[in-house]
Structures are given as C-alpha cells and as structure tokens.
Amino acid sequence: MLTAETATDWLHRFAEKINENKAYLSELDSAIGDGDHGSNMARGVAAMEEKLAAGGFATVQDVLKTAAMALLGKVGGASGPLYGSALIAMAKQAGENEQDVAAIVKAGLEGIQKRGKAEKGEKTMVDVWMPACEALASGSLTKEVIQSAVEATKEMKATKGRASYLGERSIGHLDPGAVSSSYLFEALLEGGIL
Ligand code: ADP
Ligand code: MG
Ligand code: MG
C-alpha cells in the first residue's frame, strides 16, 4: 500500500539505485548524448534525499511534491523537468488520500508526455513508463517487463531529445533515461508496495 512512509521508502530505493549506477548512466549518455545523465540524476537524488530526511510527511502527496521540487531544482538537463513534471503530476493525483499506484504512475506518464511531447517508440523514458504503466494497471508488473522495455529502446531511433541529433546512429544503444526510469519501477517492486 502506498503511504507517506512507503512512498518515502520507494524514493530512497530509487536514489540508491541511481547512486549505484551513476557511472553506467553517464556512460550510456556518452554514447548518444552528452554524458551527464548519471551525474544529473545523482545530483537530483542527493537533493531529494536531503529533503526527505527531514521526515514528518503526512501524506503521499507531500512526499512526492517534496521529491519533485528537489529534482526540478537540481537535476538540470532535459531529464530534470521531465522527472519533476512526473512527480508533480503524481503528487496531484495522490491528492489527500489516493493510494492506487497504477493511477498515480499513469498521471506521472501523462506529466512527462505533456512536458516532453514524446510518444511511444521515440527512444525516451516514455518507453519504460508506458509499459510499466500498462502492466501496473493489469497487476502484472515484473522485473522482466521492466527489463524488456529497457532493452527495446536499443533498436529504436531517437526522435526526441539530444540523442535525436544522431539520427540513425542512435540505434544500437540503450536510452539512458529509460534505464534510470527502470530503477524507479524496480524500486517500486522491491519496496513491497504493490
Ligand atoms: P540532457 O539530454 O539535457 O543532457 P539528460 O542526459 O539528463 O539530459 O537526460 C536525457 C534523457 O532524457 C534521455 O535519455 C531521454 O530518456 C530523456 N528525454 C529527453 N527528451 C525527452 C522527451 N522529449 N520526452 C521524454 N524523455 C526525454
Ligand atoms: Mg545528457
Ligand atoms: Mg546535458
């Protein structure tokens, strides 16, 4: 169940995975972008952890809003506003007492798409958020679902974001934002919220 406490735990797990994979995320971004996705995200989750450490959050909405503000203020790059928009939309959906994770994540996806205008298959984080969202709605989110969504970005040609400058040459590489997003959903699975 999603509560202020389990939502905080979810985000801690996400931060941990970002930190563990900081170099890997930047390496992925070096291949098709500017090599900063790991450091961008690590900077953001450090700010998020600092805010969350204060504790005393009454609602899921408070937790998500606090995380959103930290990420928006610190991540920078394309991914900062996108993760920020996701979390703000999720906070809004959570309202005072919403605990339906599928509905909350769906709102997050809508926030990302409203901000970044990416559709399915454009080799962005949307390519992980969308299948994760669908699987959550049918109660079938697994590590395999998340992993195959990430893998599928390899063969896509980027048509949004910095990687789109490479055109055909973006093919054959994983999308860094898809990989960082996979950590959010793995953290959700491991957090025992579902
Ligand atoms: P920057 O490209 O500004 O250096 P990052 O490296 O932190 O920012 O983030 C790059 C990631 O952002 C990409 O891998 C992709 O997943 C995501 N991204 C970029 N543009 C969009 C978009 N329009 N919609 C969704 N995700 C996007
Ligand atoms: Mg980058
Ligand atoms: Mg950059």
Could you report the per-residue pLDDT of 29-73, keeping only the tens digit for each?
Answer: 999 999 999 999 999 999 999 999 999 999 999 999 999 999 999
If you take atom 22 of ligand 1, which residue's CA is the nearest one?
Answer: 116
Tens-digit pLDDT profile for residues 112-131: 999 999 999 999 999 999 99
Residues 6+ apart with CB under 8 A from 82: 112, 115, 116, 125, 177
Nearest to 121 by CA among 133, 109, 131, 111: 131
What is the distance between the alpha carbons of residues 61 and 54, in angstroms, rounded to a whole number?
Answer: 16
Contact indicator for 73, 39 with CB cutoff of 8 Å: no
pLDDT of amino acid 163: 98
Q: 25, 43, 82: which to mutate for ligand 1, most atoms within 8 A of CB? A: 82
If you take atom 13 of ligand 1, which residue's CA is the nearest one?
Answer: 177
What is the distance between the alpha carbons of residues 69 and 84, in angstroms, rounded to a whole number?
Answer: 7
pLDDT of amino acid 1: 86
Residues, Cβ < 5 Å to ion ligand 2: 29, 33-34, 36-37
Nearest to 146 by CA among 155, 135, 157: 135
pTM more than 0.90: yes
pLDDT of amino acid 76: 83
Tell me the chain's radius of gyration from C-alpha atoms: 15
The encoded tokens of residue 149 equal 């969504």
Q: Give the distance (Å) from ligand 1 centre to CA of residue 169.
A: 17
In the predicted model, what is the mean pLDDT of residues 93-121?
A: 93
pLDDT of amino acid 99: 78
Contact indicator for 25, 180 with CB cutoff of 8 Å: yes
Tens-digit pLDDT profile for residues 137-171: 999 999 999 999 999 999 999 999 999 999 999 99
What residue ranges define each of the domains in the chain, with the CATH number in brackets?
4-190 (1.25.40.340)
Ligand 1 atom nearest 116 alpha carbon: 23
Structure letter (DSSP) for residue 165: G
